[in-house]
Amino acid sequence: MINNNNNNDNDHNMITRRCTYCNAQSVYHRQYSGEYLCSRCFTKSIHRKVAKTISKYSMIRHGETIAVAVSGGKDSLSLLHILSNSASKHANRLIAITIDEGIRGYRDESLAIAKEFTSRLGIEHVILSYKELFGKSLDDMLTFRKGKNLSACSICGTFRRRAIDIAAKHVNADVIATAHNLDDMLQTFLINVMAGDVERIAWMYPEPIEYADGLRKVKPLMEVYEHEVAFYALINNIPFQSEQCPYMNEGIRSYIRDFINRLEDEHAGIKNNMLSTILKISKVLRDNLRFNRGRCMICNNECSNPKGICSVCIMRMSIDAYANK
């Protein structure tokens, strides 16, 4: 029996419980709702929750082509698995997109897993690398960093968003689906609060904005706990990467993750409450902030910087400047 709480001790001494819905043996205790679930009802509950999120925020329309960003981790492979379950019902075409950042000793395993899993599901798979798109791998870019004032993840994330956009346009997708889960949403919100980045909080509201190029970006797992995505992967035999990115602990995100998990251990359901508050705040901001949506004067991609140069071009210029010193 798995307990959704990080502290698994509570359930170890419990008498075996039956599934709240079908009376089969339960394998999961959803602490915040009190439900006991067998693996079939657990899987169904995740499918239902994701379908509800998609429809509530009009994320995906009938007949659209969805580019699913697949890293090879549990979240993205689970998302692909969940969407592949419903794609034919809604005449959606799925294309998996993997971005190879160029991280030695880490990316190779996840690329192999992503290739194997997409071919198992019969889904087209496109792989693009930082090296071919931006001229340098992430490892190379980081050698030009002065100190660690800029975390690897902020450099990596900036280039990854652009790389996914390029890949999605390349396959004529209508919508890009990324596997950010509920925990990611909470961490991102707190990071934005600490950075004083109100505009990014407004961008968090899940109703997709249509970009000038017609693409929309959606997060269908945004209402599912990270722990539940991992359990979904486990009981549905979804393979996922065991190696962690070597740069993972450079940023503040890991501290925030631990802090929120400790809160949830003591107060089951607090993550759901936090998400609902975040959605209210981001909605108010979205409705009232005026976004700057021009074009980058260097690369002509959409750009929110009032100075007219996008974050990718700014990052490239500073990396090139260090490289040429």
Shortest Å, Cβ 162 to ligand SF4 = 13
By C-beta, is 80 or 245 nearer to ligand SF4? 245
Which residues contact Zn ion (rule: CB under 5 A)? 296, 298-299, 310, 313
Residue 67 interface partner, choices Zn ion, ligand SF4, none, CB cut-off 5-8 Å depending on type? none
3-class SS of residue 166: helix
By C-beta, is 11 or 226 nearer to ligand SF4? 226
DSSP state of 211: P
By C-beta, is 28 or 203 nearer to ligand SF4? 203
Shortest Å, Cβ 46 to Zn ion = 38
Shortest Å, Cβ 151 to ligand SF4 = 8
Shortest Å, Cβ 61 to ligand SF4 = 30
Token pair listed for 41: 């009802």
Q: What are phi and psi of 41, to 5 degrees?
A: -70, -30
- Of the chain, the end-to-end C-alpha distance in Å amounts to 57
67: β partners: 95, 176
User: Could you give the CA distance from residue 312 to residue 133 in angstroms, rounded to a whole number?
Assistant: 12
By C-beta, is 243 or 320 nearer to Zn ion? 320
Match 């897993």 to its residue by tokens: 113
By C-beta, is 203 or 247 nearer to Zn ion? 203
Overall residue count recorded for the chain in this entry:
325
Q: What is the CA radius of gyration of the chain?
A: 20
Give the amino acid at 283. Answer: K
Residue 100 interface partner, choices ligand SF4, Zn ion, none, CB cut-off 5-8 Å depending on type? none
User: Could you give the CA distance from residue 264 to residue 55 in angstroms, rounded to a whole number?
Assistant: 27
User: Could you give the CA distance from residue 130 to residue 22 in angstroms, rounded to a whole number?
Assistant: 48
Q: Which residue is nearest to Zn ion (CB)?
A: 296
By C-beta, is 230 or 298 nearer to Zn ion? 298
Residue 248 interface partner, choices ligand SF4, Zn ion, none, CB cut-off 5-8 Å depending on type? ligand SF4
User: Could you give the CA distance from residue 13 to residue 30 in angstroms, rounded to a whole number?
Assistant: 17
Shortest Å, Cβ 52 to ligand SF4 = 28
37: β partners: 28
Residue 321 interface partner, choices Zn ion, ligand SF4, none, CB cut-off 5-8 Å depending on type? none
3-class SS of residue 204: coil
By C-beta, is 198 or 299 nearer to Zn ion? 299
Which residues contact ligand SF4 (rule: CB under 6 A)? 101, 152-153, 156-157, 245, 247-248
Shortest Å, Cβ 249 to ligand SF4 = 9
Shortest Å, Cβ 153 to ligand SF4 = 3
By C-beta, is 194 or 284 nearer to ligand SF4? 194
Per the CB < 8 A criterion, the answer to whether 304 and 292 are in contact is yes
Residue 87 interface partner, choices Zn ion, ligand SF4, none, CB cut-off 5-8 Å depending on type? none
Shortest Å, Cβ 101 to ligand SF4 = 6
How many helices and strands in the chain, by DSSP H and E? 13, 10
Per the CB < 8 A criterion, the answer to whether 254 and 248 are in contact is yes
Residue 310 interface partner, choices Zn ion, ligand SF4, none, CB cut-off 5-8 Å depending on type? Zn ion
